[in-house]
């Protein structure tokens, strides 16, 4: 599949995933919901690997890659599902929009990338202002617990750190093999967390919407989504992959408002505009000043 098609698919999946998480955990315990999601994806990935005869290497570097991927999934998904108990899906997607900037900060330390330019520093400060507007609106106007917003921030940190750590592993592996390896590592981790922290399995209380949302997240959000994500992550930089969060918040907010009756406040809209603008400035600000520099050189 062309990397452009995989990138577009990642955007679609990430736009619908926050609402799917909210729905899937409405009548299921959060950790059980994410465990079932990973289990579905693991079984399907195993079948695809077997049928297609995809080689799944198990040498040290490949296992390191699977582990970094699994830890990112474990932290990102666990905190996202916990946050979904109180935080609207659109807000989750918006806060995840900070991933490109956080990935850039981590890449400076872990990948030796160049330090932020003044324009990117301005973008970082704008993003923090947008985050403050969103969080204050959710806490004051909607009376949401700050803990839920903290869970989302932790999920973003796990996601961003995992993406950067994956780029440190110099190994060429088929995206399907990476997906299967990551799922094989992370599913037992989720099973252990569920067994230790919850352990309940009250199937009679599960609503049809939660079941179908879990199936969707297992097949599309996890299996196909991870496959596309690992594909583009191999071909593009970590910060460019995270740029998809510039597009997804708008779709996620619209879906949450339309399908889940989530409240859309003026402060949330302003915060969303500030964050999206800051991300655009972060990614494209350097290019916008290039014509001016060239013009000045000609003069």
Query: What is the DSSP secondary-structure string of 58-83?
Result: -SHHHHHHHHHHHHHHHHHHHHHHHH
Kindly list the domain boundaries of the chain, sorted by start residue: 3-198+208-298
Whole-model pTM: value is: 0.83
Give residue 114's pLDDT: 83
Q: Which two tokens stand for residue 11?
A: 């955007």
Each residue's pLDDT tens digit in the chain (299 positions)?
677 788 888 888 888 999 999 999 899 999 999 999 999 999 999 999 999 998 999 999 999 999 999 999 999 999 999 999 888 888 888 888 888 888 889 999 888 888 888 998 998 899 889 888 888 877 776 677 788 889 999 999 998 999 899 888 888 888 889 989 999 999 999 999 999 998 888 889 999 999 999 999 999 988 888 888 778 877 776 556 656 766 788 788 888 888 888 887 787 888 888 888 888 888 777 766 545 444 444 44
Angle between helix 146-168 and 99-110 (nearest 10): 40
Give residue 50's pLDDT: 94
Phi, psi of 136 (to 5 degrees): -65, -35
Nearest residue to 233 via CA among 151, 163, 155, 160? 163
Nearest residue to 45 via CA among 230, 172, 234? 230
Query: How many Å apart are CA 222 and CA 205, to the nearest integer?
Result: 24
CA 205 to chain centre: 29
Alpha helix (H) residue ranges in the chain: 3-24, 30-52, 60-83, 89-96, 99-110, 118-140, 146-168, 175-197, 208-216, 225-235, 238-242, 248-260, 266-288, 290-298
The residue behind tokens 């859309």 is 264
Query: How many Å apart are CA 204 and CA 4, to the nearest integer?
Result: 43
CA distances from 27 to 21, 30, 56, 208 (A): 11, 9, 36, 9
């Amino acid at each position: 599949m062309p990397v452009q098609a995989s990138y577009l698919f990642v955007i679609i999946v990430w736009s619908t995933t926050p609402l799917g998480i909210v729905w899937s955990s409405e009548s299921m315990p959060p950790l059980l919901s994410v465990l079932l999601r990973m289990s579905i994806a693991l079984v399907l990935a195993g079948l695809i690997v077997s049928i297609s005869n995809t080689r799944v290497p198990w040498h040290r570097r490949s296992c390191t890659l699977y582990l970094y991927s699994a830890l990112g999934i474990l932290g990102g998904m666990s905190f996202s599902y916990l946050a979904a108990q109180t935080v609207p899906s659109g807000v989750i997607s918006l806060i995840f929009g900070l991933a490109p900037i956080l990935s850039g900060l981590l890449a400076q330390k872990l990948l030796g990338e160049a330090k932020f330019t003044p324009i990117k520093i301005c973008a970082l400060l704008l993003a923090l202002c947008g985050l403050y507007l969103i969080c204050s609106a959710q806490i004051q106007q909607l009376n949401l617990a700050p803990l839920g917003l903290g869970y989302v921030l932790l999920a973003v940190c796990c996601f961003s750190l995992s993406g950067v750590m994956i780029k440190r592993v110099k190994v060429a592996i088929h995206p399907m093999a990476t997906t299967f390896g990551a799922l094989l590592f992370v599913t037992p981790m989720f099973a252990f967390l569920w067994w230790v922290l919850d352990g309940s399995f009250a199937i009679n209380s599960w609503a049809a919407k939660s079941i179908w949302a879990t199936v969707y997240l297992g097949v599309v959000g996890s299996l196909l989504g991870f496959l596309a994500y690992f594909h583009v992550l191999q071909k593009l930089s970590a910060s460019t992959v995270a740029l998809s969060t510039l597009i997804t918040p708008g779709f996620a907010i619209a879906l949450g408002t339309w399908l889940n009756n989530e409240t859309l406040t003026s402060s949330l809209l302003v915060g969303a505009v500030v964050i999206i603008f800051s991300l655009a400035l972060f990614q494209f600000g350097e290019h916008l000043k290039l014509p001016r520099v060239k013009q000045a050189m000609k003069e």
